[in-house]
Amino acid sequence: MASNPITASPLITLTSDFGLSDPYVGIMKGVILNICPHARLVDLVHDLPPQSLLDAGLALFSALPYFSPDTIHLVVVDPGVGTNRSALVACGPRGIVVCPDNGLIGYVESVFPIAQCFAVDRPDLTLPIPSRTFHGRDVFAPITAHLAKGLAPESIGPALEPQRLTFPQAQRHGNAISGEILAFDRFGNALVNIRSGEGPMRSVSVGLQAFTWAQTFAEHPIGTPISYFGSSGWLELAVNQGSAHLQYGLMVGQRVEGVRQ
């Protein structure tokens, strides 16, 4: 069975698409701390594009390996809020994820192995009369707080086989590889679904625009379009001290062609 050892100051990360201009994130924190006052709360990211499960998956894929195995990760990107989709508690050797059962968990399984999943079925642990539009406050936050206090995940509800989404796969043809832009970071760098295990590239291009292979930004002049494997292992397209997104009008889903060395 899943276990959940009690820690004196449990660590909880929060990820959402709520932004910080509204009180939603603060309200969730208030609910958590009212139930588990000694919890330590870490904001992972809250300015994800609204309803974008892919962007949430990319953020979690990059971040989860760097947290201790007793961390609880609360993720509220929930386009299906108010429907009959389940609330999910996913447990594994790297910690616990609390999120909607909307496929999000599939994005992170390669870095966050899942041993068991449970559907939340404990109305006694959620806030009374949950809203149809704010399950982050009424369901996910209180469940997370009770888990942080040591509640066993298997007592949350029945075992569940979760829905799973996965990142689109790059296509290989000999030394050539074809991928697509998944997202952009705040610098305008494009993240591409080609992993660092493919090795360094001889050439990378989007249409007729080439992106010079680089190890660091500084090895090329300011304004140079470059490509490299970033800190999360994805191929990235960038402009030294500029925005590849804006300068070249790149778009999510656009094809990226590479030739491996």
Tell me, yes or no, whether 102 and 212 share the same domain: no
Instruction: For residue 91, list its beta bridge partners.
Output: 96, 116
Q: What is the pLDDT of residue 35?
A: 98
Tell me, yes or no, whether 151 and 40 share the same domain: yes
Residue where a domain stops, chosen among 121, 155, 189: 155
Residue where a domain stops, chosen among 155, 182, 213: 155
**Phi, psi angles (nearest 5°) of residue 69:** -65, -10
Q: What is the pLDDT of residue 6?
A: 56
Q: What is the pLDDT of residue 229?
A: 97
Tell me, yes or no, whether 22 and 133 share the same domain: yes
Q: What is the pLDDT of residue 178?
A: 98
**Cα 69 → chain centroid:** 17
- Cβ 246 vs Cβ 188: under 8 Å: yes
Residue type, 246: L
Tell me, yes or no, whether 79 and 148 share the same domain: yes
Residue where a domain stops, chosen among 108, 128, 155: 155
Q: What is the pLDDT of residue 1?
A: 39
CATH of the domain at 195: 2.40.30.90
Flag whether 2 is in a domain.
Answer: no
Tell me, yes or no, whether 113 and 142 share the same domain: yes
Count of structural domains within the chain: 2
Tell me, yes or no, whether 130 and 178 share the same domain: no
Flag whether 160 is in a domain.
Answer: no
Flag whether 81 is in a domain.
Answer: yes
**Phi, psi angles (nearest 5°) of residue 26:** -60, -35
CATH of the domain at 42: 3.40.50.10790
Tell me, yes or no, whether 19 and 144 share the same domain: yes
Tell me, yes or no, whether 75 and 147 share the same domain: yes
Tell me, yes or no, whether 204 and 175 share the same domain: yes
What is the residue-level pLDDT of the chain in tens, covering all 261 positions?
355 655 679 999 999 999 999 999 999 999 999 999 999 999 999 999 999 999 999 999 999 999 999 999 999 999 988 888 999 999 999 999 999 999 999 999 999 999 999 999 999 999 988 888 899 999 999 999 999 999 999 999 999 999 999 999 999 999 999 999 999 999 999 999 999 999 899 999 999 999 999 999 999 999 999 999 999 999 999 999 999 999 999 999 999 999 998
Q: Range of 220's domain? A: 171-260
